[in-house]
Chain A
Amino acid sequence: AQTVTQSQPEMSVQEAETVTLSCTYDTSENNYYLFWYKQPPSRQMILVIRQEAYKQQNATENRFSVNFQKAAKSFSLKISDSQLGDTAMYFCAFMKIDTGRRALTFGSGTRLQVQP
């Protein structure tokens, strides 16, 4: 079974600064996907970024980028130029590539507060 660990329950950052959220995972699989989802106070789950394990290049989406270290089983999220709207819970998630099963395994989340 896969496990996902987010060791930072809460983090705080000043507006316009950069913050990095950590995520580690444990798996014996070689092919999988990793995701960061954002859950603002509205409780909606919003995809932030995804990374295919077979790709060495780190994914980026505007102000969001990841540092994917496959050997270390580490998948951190960097948020640049933090904005007040980035205040949310952030969940790291793992998905094994299977012919039929596409279940997401989530970490416990990191609550990010962006301070004005």
Chain B
Amino acid sequence: DSGVTQTPKHLITATGQRVTLRCSPRSGDLSVYWYQQSLDQGLQFLIQYYNGEERAKGNILERFSAQQFPDLHSELNLSSLELGDSALYFCASSVFLAGGRDTQYFGPGTRLTVL
């Protein structure tokens, strides 16, 4: 158990719908990262937050958005869902040490299926 929690574990929805994935980082970790794992694209970085502020963006679609709240939990919002959005979505967290010496610990993932 990494200490990172994600809910829900599984999500099945229809095209065009909107869903919210939730992540609670490890105690003491200030930075949260979202990754997408799909058969087509492999593991891709989506977005990073640090202490409530967006720090970096990767290959995140405009239909997707995220935020990190004052209690440091994060939510990833996916809207106008398409079949191709079906994937495993991981949240990771890290302390965010100077010089990049921190390690990202991954949650168990949320399996999203779009029908």
Contacts and interface: CB of A to CB of B under 8 A. Distances in A.
Interface of A: 33, 35, 37, 42-47, 50, 52, 91, 95, 97-98, 100-109
A33 B100 contact: yes
Interface stretch (B20-28, B65-73, B88-96): B88-96
Contact of A44 (B33, B100, B101, B106): B106
Interface of B: 2, 31, 33, 35, 42-45, 48, 50, 55-56, 58, 88, 90, 92, 94, 96, 99-106, 108-109, 111
A42 B104 CA distance: 18
B94 A44 contact: no
Contacts of A105: 45
25 contacts: A43-B88, A43-B108, A44-B2, A44-B106, A44-B109, A45-B90, A45-B109, A46-B2, A46-B106, A50-B103, A52-B101, A97-B100, A98-B100, A101-B48, A101-B55, A101-B56, A102-B55, A102-B56, A102-B94, A102-B96, A102-B102, A103-B56, A104-B104, A106-B43, A109-B42
